[in-house]
Amino acid sequence: MKHLVVLSGAGMSAESGLGTFRDAGGLWEQYKIEEVATPEAWAKNPELVTEFYNMRRKQCMECNPNEGHHILAELENDFKVSVITQNIDNLHERAGSTNVLHLHGEIMKVKSSGPKQEETYYDWHKAEVKQSDVCPDGYPLRPHVVWFGEAVPALDQAADIVSTADLFLVVGTSLQVYPAASLVHYNPLGTPSYLIDPHADEFRLSQFKQIAKPVTEGMAIFKEIISKS
């Protein structure tokens, strides 16, 4: 069974109603990144950071996987599929994908803000985290997400996965966020590679076959292409 490796980004979830960083009127337009998505922001104003991610968590809970997510999950019937996502939502899993690696963490999990935070995290099924919610060691709970300025713990694992691809798909990401964007360089030379994005023809990725369509439409086209290969 061929190994399909997928790198997905915010555009994958945008058609489910989850805004991207650049969406007009979205959450990110209402807040400065340095005020809500950095370790310094947490140290300065944990209440604001907690409230911001409470809003993002609630938004995630109110959204549903789109057809693009479902097509990707269905491809597990014919391929070994590994999804590497920059998204912190759980829409891939809710659509049925069984092998998902989250580069930037998961909004439906929380972790200790203390020194053992990389060892101590928990599933969180409520919309809100309160200031009174603490880990067993007494430290306040923070979102289990990778903030700007923090290391990406799963990056080496993701690079190893990409290096084993028989097919490679990039979908819904502008490839402007590093180090995640660097993963395309681990794609084995000669691997059939595809890029789904409405502006795919603007990307300088000559080795990728471009599908210049929105995610759901592009995923349907991609499924048809690889089913004939």
Query: What is the separation of C-alpha 91 from the centre of its chain, rounded to a whole number of angstroms?
Result: 9
Sign of CA dihedral 24, 53, 39, 183: negative
Q: How many angstroms separate the CA atoms of 116 and 191, rounded?
A: 40
Q: How many angstroms separate the CA atoms of 149 and 135, rounded?
A: 24
Whether 144 is catalytic is no
Distance between start and end Cα atoms, the chain: 13
Residue 71 structure tokens: 């097509």
Q: What are phi and psi of 120, to 5 degrees?
A: -125, 90
Q: Catalytic pick from 69, 102, 104, 144? A: 104
Q: How many CA atoms lie within 13 A of 69 on its CB side?
A: 26
Helices (H), 103-211: 155-162
Which residues are part of the catalytic machinery?
104
